[in-house]
């Protein structure tokens, strides 16, 4: 049995992905900041027949993050799939002319240092398995910078570059790296943006192993 670790195991997309992969036979490690919320989500997944455990860590705390992933692999089995999908903090969303260097620390910690640290922790296990998938989930500012969401625009661009480089470097080893771009956010009345539909797309990215970048829907309607 192998494991999917979801960084950003919230009640929307995180829960939907956990349920989908869990029903396909994966154990689920949810990593999020709130212990009480994790316990609620683990209980909800258990009621749906999904084997899940929660691990409390902030994606910006590299030591706590890598320890959570190490504990998950020890408790549940090798991490075959890593999903990086934490929700950006509101303070990351400032207009460009109001953004200082200090304002970029949080976004860069979350979207660049965090994924690099997480991948460094799980990659040896994937190599032992001889397979693996790394899933990066981003909003539209990853490919089209938004002047009012400067933090995510800058940090997502770095995450995208890192992911593309990983995709090219790891493909010969049977480890697939894929990015799902979700324009206009999760939900909002677009069927393609609902959590269950996005979970299906992420499952397809794991199983079909195609190009690096996929869009949940066109950037422009």
How far apart (Å, rounded) are the C-alpha atoms in residues 33 and 195?
20
Q: What are residue 62's phi and psi, to 5 degrees? A: -65, -35
CA atoms within 13 A on the CB side of 158: 17
Instruction: Please answer whether residues 193 and 184 qualify as being in contact, where contact means their C-beta atoms are separated by less than 8 angstroms.
Output: yes
Any idea what the Cα angle at residue 192 is, between residues 186 and 198, rounded to 5°?
A: 65
Mean pLDDT of 173-184: 96
pLDDT of residue 195: 95
Q: In the beta sheet, which residues pair with residue 132? A: 175
Q: What is the pLDDT of residue 187?
A: 82
Question: Between β-strands 3-7 and 27-32, what pairing exists: parallel, antiparallel or unpaired?
Answer: parallel
pLDDT band at 221 (very low <50, low <70, confident <90, very high): low
pTM > 0.85? yes
- State the alpha helices, DSSP H only, in the chain: 13-23, 35-47, 62-76, 105-108, 114-129, 150-170, 195-208
pLDDT in tens, 137-151: 999 999 999 999 999
Span 49-64, average pLDDT: 96
Domains, the chain, ordered by start: 3-215 (3.40.50.720)
Compute the radius of gyration of the chain from its Cα atoms. 16
Write down the pLDDT at residue 115: 98
pLDDT at 91: 85
Query: How many of the other CB atoms lie within 10 Å of CB of 147?
Result: 12
Cβ(152)–Cβ(112) under 8 Å? Answer: no
């Amino acid at each position: 049995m192998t494991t999917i670790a979801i960084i950003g195991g919230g009640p929307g997309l995180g829960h939907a992905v956990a349920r989908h992969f869990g029903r396909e036979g994966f154990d689920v490690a949810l990593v999020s900041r709130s212990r009480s919320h994790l316990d609620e989500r683990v209980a909800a997944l258990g009621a749906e027949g999904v084997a899940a455990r929660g691990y409390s860590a902030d994606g910006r705390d590299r030591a706590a993050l890598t320890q959570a992933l190490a504990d998950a692999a020890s408790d549940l089995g090798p991490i075959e799939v890593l999903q990086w999908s934490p929700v950006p903090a509101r303070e990351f969303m400032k207009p460009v002319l109001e953004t200082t260097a200090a304002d970029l620390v949080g976004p860069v910690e979350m979207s660049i240092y965090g994924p690099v640290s997480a991948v460094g922790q799980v990659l040896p296990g994937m190599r032992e398995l001889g397979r693996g998938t790394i899933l990066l989930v981003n909003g539209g500012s990853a490919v089209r910078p938004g002047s009012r969401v400067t933090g995510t625009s800058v940090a997502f661009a770095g995450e995208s570059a890192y992911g593309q480089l990983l995709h090219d470097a790891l493909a010969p080893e049977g480890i697939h790296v894929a990015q799902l771009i979700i324009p206009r956010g999760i939900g909002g009345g677009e069927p393609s943006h609902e959590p269950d539909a996005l979970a299906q797309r992420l499952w397809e990215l794991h199983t079909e192993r195609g190009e690096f970048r996929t869009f949940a829907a066109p950037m422009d309607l």
